[in-house]
Amino acid sequence: MKLAFSTLGVPGTPVPEVVRLAAGNGYQGVELRVHPEEPVHLGLSSLERADVVEAFKAGGVEILALAGYVKAAAEGDDEPVLAELSELVKLARDLGASYVRVFPGGGDQEQAEADATAARRLGAVAPAAADMGVSILLETHDSHRAGLDAARVVATVGHPRVGAIWDVLHTWLAGEEPAASHAVLAPHLGYVQVKDVASADDLTPLALGSGVLPLAECLDGLDPDTWVCWEYEKRWHPGAAELPGLLGAGREHLLRLRAPKQ
């Protein structure tokens, strides 16, 4: 199992420090949050992009994915959505990231309409992403929080460079059993985002294993080469414990969950 963590857990942290945290705690990769308030964003110059690549290369850490905020199913014109997604794919190419993350963002639209919009937009960018060696992953989130919802859109696109991220919190909140989520997402799965919380009413991030999410069941049956990324949502919960002090124990917990059954 290859492990990563998201920089959502260490908001605003400079890239060299992120690399040090990953390498020092045994994580092979990092999911980089792409946002204007972060060190990595769409406005980086060519030189700045090269510096990011060099920092990760020097630390022996992989950039797993760029977590952008494109909403594939959002109402409105296609053009601004496609433009932002295209720029995100180009940034991933320049940084050597395998994946870009997008949200559904369908809001209150009818399901069929939101599905069609997301599939159309993802399909439009997929050929260029393929040429750049990048895959676009739709996360189980908001309007499409169940695995069945995300898988339905991805299957409609039908392109090998369009897949899914399994955010285990959202499929759990949708009431979908882990085995059911895995069954529908497995053909399209890029990687899995894990986290832990106290309850459906308190989503403050907790150390892995100290909350109620069925992490063992979610990891059971995954291909051994599947990436597992800890998305600790410190950015949205500033009062939560600091992630750096939790990284080592989190890694050990995940490895225990994936250890062969005796």
Tell me the residue range of the domain where 237 lies.
Answer: 2-257
According to the model, what pLDDT value does residue 259 have?
Answer: 83
Residue 245 lies in a domain: yes
Model confidence at 262, in pLDDT bands (50, 70, 90)?
Answer: low
Residue 39 in tokens: 């060190």
Domain count of the fold of the chain? 1
According to the model, what pLDDT value does residue 107 have?
Answer: 97
Q: How far is CA 112 from CA 116, 122, 184, 199, 226, in A?
A: 6, 15, 18, 31, 30
Residue 126 lies in a domain: yes
Q: What is the pLDDT of residues 17-68, one digit of tens each?
A: 999 999 999 999 999 999 999 999 999 999 999 999 999 999 999 999 999 9
Residue 262 lies in a domain: no
CATH number at residue 115: 3.20.20.150
Q: What is the pLDDT of residues 203-250, one digit of tens each?
A: 999 999 999 999 999 999 899 999 999 999 999 999 999 999 999 999
Residue 21 lies in a domain: yes
- DSSP E strands in the chain: the ranges are 2-6, 29-33, 62-71, 99-103, 135-139, 162-167, 189-194, 227-230
Sign of CA dihedral 101, 89, 82, 164: negative
Q: What is the pLDDT of residues 89-137, one digit of tens each?
A: 999 999 999 999 999 999 999 999 999 999 999 999 999 999 999 999 9
Q: From the CB of residue 122, how many other CB atoms can be counted at a distance below 10 Å?
A: 28
